[in-house]
Amino acid sequence: MTDIIQVTDEGILTLSENEIFSAINEKWLEIDPNFNTDPSTPDGYMNAWHAQNYRILNEAIREAWNSKDPAKARDTQLSIIGSLTGASFEDGTPTKIQCTATGTEGTVILSGSVISGGNYDWFIDNDVTIGENGTAQVAATCEIDGVVEPNVGTVTNIKTTIGGWTGITNTSVIQVGTDKQSNALFRVARTRAVARPSSNQTDSTIGELFAIDDVLRVAAYENPTGDSAVSDENPFGLPKNSETYLIQGGDSDEIAKAIYIKKNPGVYLNGAGVVETVTVTSDLHITNTKLIRFGRPTPVAMNTVIELADPNGKLPTIIETLIAESIISYANGSLLEGSTGFDQTGFDIGENVPIRRIDTPINNVIGEYEGVYINSSTINGVSSGIAVIDFDEISSWSSDNITVTVV
């Protein structure tokens, strides 16, 4: 009889419930070959009951064992491991939308002003002045974290009264929000945050940035040469002797402070993507201030066109919604968990998008429908190879930009 639980160099190995049931029956039959082990009999039923309880105990033991391993721990156990180094799960990020405001020329719409639509309130990101044509482009952030995608023209209510501001309407999604950080993404962030005390200044700065609440992704680039020309050491043509940091999520003031306390003297901080500048004052010497420059990755809309073949007519009418939700979750790193053999962390800053990668979230949906397969798919008009993302960009996925047809 095989042991129902074994401790090996690779960890805890356990049997399935059916395997445990077979092992128990095997022992009974060694005592009496005529023993009736069918689950319909009282004795067979008890063997099945024991097998179920052994399986539950084995799973609890395996979870306890894995909880000590950052590569295998999940949820609460992984959070406990993260807390040892000051890392914690991020709650997610809110959706950002682009809007057109209308009103009297010269009217200032203040940051934090509230608009509503799509069942949520939205907050204007920055002060903006209505131009001479009576319009202004404004960005707004959803009141909640998570995937929220308002249809164009549904955010139209002004809740903060400002004289001269007469209208608002949403025109596009800048960046779809993300749900709570997945186990896979948290493992990456925890590993990088551990580098905060590193003697490598870049690694140390990245670790400090990942320790900030709501920071999801960080990219760091360095040009150690005295020349801004493109070269092997400076592939993106960055300014000479410079560092460039791109951060998705997190408070701008906290990001600037993290860079300030880690940067080396004399290094130029370059801005890329959507550039932000924040003046930081030293906690130790209040007369010492520094202008910190960093960037937010520019979102690049991934216009995705998918054609599915459904010869047996099995797909539901909401298949486009199901596919879009699956692709967005995959891109955000929240679709897959465990040792699946597939990439589980989505698409990073500056990461090109292989066209065939989206087959994974599509098949995750259509796999349960007999005979259905992917006939064709394109991203931004590309059907093979990659959709190119520059070093200061990040792919942006929205259901508005995902089209599914069935043939």
Please spell the DSSP secondary structure of 173-187, one letter per residue: EEE--B-SPPHHHHH
Token pair, residue 146, equals 């998570």
> Are residues 256 and 212 in contact, defined by beta-carbon separation less than 8 angstroms?
no
What percent of the chain clears pLDDT 70, i.e. is strictly above it? 84
Query: CA 317, CA 313: separation in Å to the nearest integer?
Result: 10
Token pair, residue 94, equals 């809110």
Query: CA 379, CA 349: separation in Å to the nearest integer?
Result: 18
- Judged against a pLDDT cut of 60, whether residue 198 lies above it is answered with no
Closest CA to 118 of 91, 99, 90: 99
Query: CA 404, CA 407: separation in Å to the nearest integer?
Result: 10
> Are residues 177 and 142 in contact, defined by beta-carbon separation less than 8 angstroms?
yes
Query: CA 365, CA 361: separation in Å to the nearest integer?
Result: 7
pTM for this structure?
A: 0.62
* Lowest-confidence segment of 34-38, 110-114, 381-385 by average pLDDT: 34-38
Q: What is the mean pLDDT of residues 348-371?
A: 93
Residue ranges covered by each domain of the chain: 5-66, 94-175, 195-296, 300-406
* Lowest-confidence segment of 153-162, 186-195, 197-206, 226-235 by average pLDDT: 186-195
- Judged against a pLDDT cut of 60, whether residue 138 lies above it is answered with yes
Please spell the DSSP secondary structure of 77-102, one letter per residue: HHHHHHHTTT------BEEEEEEEEE
Chain mean position to CA 279: 29
DSSP conformational letter for 33: T
pLDDT of residue 333: 80
Work out the end-to-end distance of the chain between its first and last CA atoms, rounded to an integer number of angstroms: 53
- Give the chain's mean pLDDT: 86
- Judged against a pLDDT cut of 60, whether residue 1 lies above it is answered with no
* pLDDT band, very low/low/confident/very high, at 339 (cuts 50, 70, 90): very low
Query: CA 386, CA 380: separation in Å to the nearest integer?
Result: 10
Query: CA 139, CA 112: separation in Å to the nearest integer?
Result: 11
- Judged against a pLDDT cut of 60, whether residue 362 lies above it is answered with yes
pLDDT of residue 189: 67
> Are residues 362 and 306 in contact, defined by beta-carbon separation less than 8 angstroms?
yes
Query: CA 115, CA 169: separation in Å to the nearest integer?
Result: 9
> E strands of 191-251, at which residues?
217-223, 242-248
Query: CA 94, CA 251: separation in Å to the nearest integer?
Result: 13
- Judged against a pLDDT cut of 90, whether residue 15 lies above it is answered with no
* pLDDT band, very low/low/confident/very high, at 179 (cuts 50, 70, 90): confident
Q: What is the mean pLDDT of residues 213-218?
A: 86
What backbone torsions phi and psi does residue 218 show, to the nearest 5 degrees? Answer: -140, 135
Q: What is the mean pLDDT of residues 56-82?
A: 66
* pLDDT band, very low/low/confident/very high, at 37 (cuts 50, 70, 90): confident
Tell me if residue 402 falls in helix, strand or coil: strand
Tell me if residue 358 falls in helix, strand or coil: helix
Helices 17-31 and 42-66 meet at what angle, rounded to 10?
Answer: 130
What percent of the chain clears pLDDT 90, i.e. is strictly above it? 50
User: How many Å is the maximal CA-CA distance in the chain?
Assistant: 95
- Judged against a pLDDT cut of 70, whether residue 253 lies above it is answered with yes
Q: What is the mean pLDDT of residues 304-325?
A: 94
* pLDDT band, very low/low/confident/very high, at 283 (cuts 50, 70, 90): confident
- Judged against a pLDDT cut of 60, whether residue 341 lies above it is answered with no
State pLDDT tens for residues 367-394: 989 999 999 999 999 999 999 999 999 9
- How far CA 287 is from CA of 253, 280, 290, 405, in Å, comes to 18, 11, 10, 62
* pLDDT band, very low/low/confident/very high, at 174 (cuts 50, 70, 90): confident
Tell me if residue 254 falls in helix, strand or coil: helix
Closest CA to 326 of 357, 371, 372, 370: 357
DSSP conformational letter for 200: S
> Are residues 221 and 236 in contact, defined by beta-carbon separation less than 8 angstroms?
yes
